Amino acid sequence: MKKRILAIDDEKITHEIISLVLGDSSDISSALSGREALELIDQGQEFDLILLDVIMPDLNGYDIIQQLKRKPNTKDTPVIFLTGRTNQEDEEKGFSLGAVDYIAKPISPPVLTARVQNQLALKEIRDNLKYQNEILESSLEHMDQGISMVDSDLVFIALNSNFKKLFELPDSFDVGNTMEDFFRCNVQSGFYGDVDVEETVQELANPERHFTTRQLERTRPDGTIIEIRIVPVESGGQVSTYTDITARRRAETNQARQREIIEATLENVDHGIVMADAHGKIVVHNKLFEEMFSQAVENHASFADYTRSYLKSIGADESSIEESIRLLDENVVGQWERPLPDGRTIEIAHIALADGGYVRTYNDITERKKSEENLKDQMKELEVFNHVAVGRELKMIELKREINELAEQLGEPEKYEIIS
């Protein structure tokens, strides 16, 4: 796309030269007076470059450039003065009002081409930088974290509102403030307690001058915990991110407390317990579990590895070992008993968890099994005794019947009646 150039000059010959030299590569608009030019601009037209004559009858170039710099659609448009006056005083005045260059009259086509192309290239670079800065600012404002960037002099060149919010910085704190300003705000707000302000500011600022990768935490007076990560920039300065980790720290504290409660509970139950995650890695166990099998858990990458190692140590055959591993891999729920070589009997219960992990409990039921065997023996003895007693009762009934029949035959049933 052709660049748009506005030429403002009261001499038609100047416009002809500009059109002849730049017309093929640029879209040229012409104005023969300052008022005509301002009318074009007020209509909303925008230009990439303005060529402005200094000496004109209605409004001179100095008056026009001052108005251009006040208008939103031309305040950033580069202006090159065209003039036959090349003394230092005139040039200084033009530059002070915002001109970017001077081209002397009569116009030299090579000079005109070179200087126009140079300013158009610079404007394109500025426009790209502005666009990138807008993207950066938008990205910074949409980040959940606070973020800031300082240059090699510890002057802030970028920061977002979350950074200011986390440290309760005043609205006036912005790009251009220094790290010392930042720490001074912190100290004055009571961030570091009752301390000497300037002395503390210097103590805090000194490490920042080394530009090293660091991670630290700061706790605000209200208890908010802020995690700070600092990364140096190769060209000088550093980028810092600030994250409110208060909720995370509380969750970690609660998790640690809950783990302590769980571990204390596990150590006070009368059976071994082991818990594994979805990958089979042991995440929780108690001491009784290790004591039952005389193997340390930390020496094994997974519970399957632990199980295989133990079964091999007691001489289990390979098929039995593979069956045990299959039950683990398939997370088979159930309850069964396993006799051990030392005479103990362990009752195993496998409970599957929703996340793919599992819990196993191991209960030494050796004494219970002995009690059951003793009870079985006693029941057998009682059964024999009952059998004998019932036989005797039946014989007594038969004997009574025979005696009663004999007494009736003798005609004296009362004399031989058996009292039961």
pLDDT of residue 412: 61
**pLDDT at position 404:** 74
Render 149-170 in DSSP notation, one character per residue. Answer: EE-TTSBEEEE-HHHHHHTT--
The pLDDT score that the predictor gives to residue 1 is 81
pLDDT tier for residue 39 given thresholds of 50, 70 and 90: very high
Residue 180: its pLDDT value, please?
95
pTM for this prediction: 0.49
pLDDT score, position 417: 52
- What pLDDT shows up at residue 416? 52
Q: Is the pLDDT of residue 171 over 80?
A: yes
Per-residue pLDDT at 410 exceeds 90: no
Q: Which residues contact 187 (CB under 8 A, 6 or more apart)?
A: 195, 197, 200, 201, 204
Distance from chain centroid for Cα 296: 35
The CA radius of gyration of the chain, in Å to the nearest whole number, is: 49
pLDDT band of residue 378 (cuts 50, 70, 90) is confident
* Residue 393 vs residue 297, higher pLDDT: 297
pLDDT at 387 over 90: no
What mean pLDDT, rounded, does the chain reach?
88
Confidence of residue 393 (pLDDT cuts 50, 70, 90): confident
H/E element, 110: helix 109-141
What pLDDT shows up at residue 181? 96
pLDDT at 66: 95
Q: What pLDDT is recorded for position 85?
A: 78
- Please tell me the least confidently modeled range out of 145-149, 212-216, 401-405: 401-405
Predicted confidence band at 61 (pLDDT cuts at 50, 70, 90)? very high
Distances (CA, A) of 24 to 4, 9, 19, 364, 401: 12, 20, 8, 97, 145
**Can you tell me the distance from the alpha carbon of 56 to that of 99, in angstroms, rounded to the nearest whole number?**
17
Give per-residue pLDDT as tens, 206-234. Answer: 999 889 999 999 888 888 999 999 999 98
Average of pLDDT values for 400-409? 72
Mean pLDDT over residues 138-150, rounded? 84
- 148 has which bridge partners? 159, 240
Give mean pLDDT, residues 332-350: 90
What is the model's pLDDT at position 5?
96
| Sign, CA torsion 165/169/174/178 | negative
Q: How far apart are CA 394 and CA 392, in angstroms?
A: 5
pLDDT tens figures, 14-35 = 999 999 999 999 999 999 999 9
* Phi, psi values for residue 163, rounded to 5°: -60, -45
Q: How confident is the model at residue 362 (pLDDT cuts 50, 70, 90)?
A: very high
Residue with tokens 């059109």: 19
pLDDT tens digits along 42-54 = 998 899 999 999 9
User: Sorting pLDDT into bands at 50, 70 and 90, what band is 70?
Assistant: very high
- State residue 413's pLDDT score: 58
Q: What is the pLDDT of residues 79-122, one digit of tens each?
A: 999 988 778 888 899 999 999 999 999 999 999 999 999 999 99
Q: Is the pLDDT of residue 205 over 60?
A: yes
